[in-house]
Structure 1
């Protein structure tokens, strides 16, 4: 939908000015019939171009003509399942000799820590550069991730080394493999412009001030360009947090951290691995689980130490039903929060 006239007008008004980087953000930019012309226009405006592609992009669209004219390609990965299902896309891009390939791992407020680690491991096996960050123009949720990953073995946390995209960035070394983590909005001296698919210019999607390219003036473009970051100037930057837990009829509480642990165990089939991922003590939580089972009069976990399933921990039917109810309630609350926003 992006009108080419908007890019032409921008180039006309900015004269010889060039942005350091142009980011092509679109659910699937390769579906645009004039993508090559758009890339050419952006090349006239920016020193380098990063094209963001969903990892689920159709392999039939991966033509060299579009991709060879950008400087970087960033595959947006929302989950391990999405990456695993579309791993042929990664292989196809690498087989075309594209080595400026990055995996952009989305981290929202409800991310799954084990899921993120699985994505990292799979990306490492293909030698991909990895960046972890939020959906663009949102505040990052990486603080908790850094806290958890710092507790793992063979992990080093570096210092802030500069900026990437609109965010401050640090390097995290997981088993000596460098990963970029976006930590906060850069805010200071933010010199960005956002062009919507409809040809509206603004500082960013959060800005209330936008003007269509047909009416924009040189002065208004300059005003947008040098205005402060909208995200970093929100009053206090409060965001709601939820904590779901259950209370039995006799007042016995099944707290949120126990439910989170059960959820991880259901995914990795290991009590110790789940505790390690959460950064908690296995011995402490084993005692808590046993005390809770005794109070409830029902088992939550089954540990299998022999046979083909040697050394795994699985949930009982009661725990599975408890987890289903927990996920259902959590999802309803999260949907309500998004609607509230």
Structure 2
């Protein structure tokens, strides 16, 4: 079929970037151009120049991944209603963690860089008089896992709320060593956080969010004086932070799309108390700690993915300019 016969029949097929479009027009024939941009469910854009359009209803059969479109109507033409999808696409749920745009559980793995600032205060047990204050810091690398309920409970058009729980092995020991080789310090055994992430999408595959949560840490006080002893305590803390999540096109893990994240968190820990430890029975010790943590990792969904929605059409009634 040549170009003229295609125009006469009011139909033209276009294939670009894997999106198949079939244009069907009604009304008197008239040649013009519509610039069309489609967004699919993975945030990719597909731009198409439709070379023929006629007055009436222009119907485009779109790929089942298409969730929104923008038609730039030629100068002098007007639209009689917004673009309509049939059947309507599912809600485009992008935002907090832009992987799949769906509700479900995500499993994340993360590398953590902890910068811990610690102050150990020693007091004479009988009088509570301060006898020593020791300040130290350390910033090792640890690992962790995080479970996030990717909850697209919308607080607005593009604002989302997702609870999470994380469990980290910070691999951090902060020790003060005295001349002669004696020492006192703490080791963080494990820590976890239960909280929420609230954010918004700034692009189809990029989101920023805030973090708030309640944390807990188990730590051990190690004393190496004339004798040695170890005592453990579990303390609570509050965590605030910010983060960003990004879904690179085509990035997959375990056969499923993945999103990357980068976060900064600050945690204020409750003071840990170690009274009359065996290696220093005349003294009580209070450990004050604050952490600055950088987390980098990836998320993958748990469970089966939803089936693709059925194919649908996008239509827009067009009105041509009056002939002079």
TM-score calculated relative to the size of structure 1: 0.26
TM-score calculated relative to the size of structure 2: 0.27
Between Structure 1 and Structure 2, the one with more helix by share is: 1
Between Structure 1 and Structure 2, the one with more strand by share is: 2
> Which structure's CA Rg is the greater one?
2
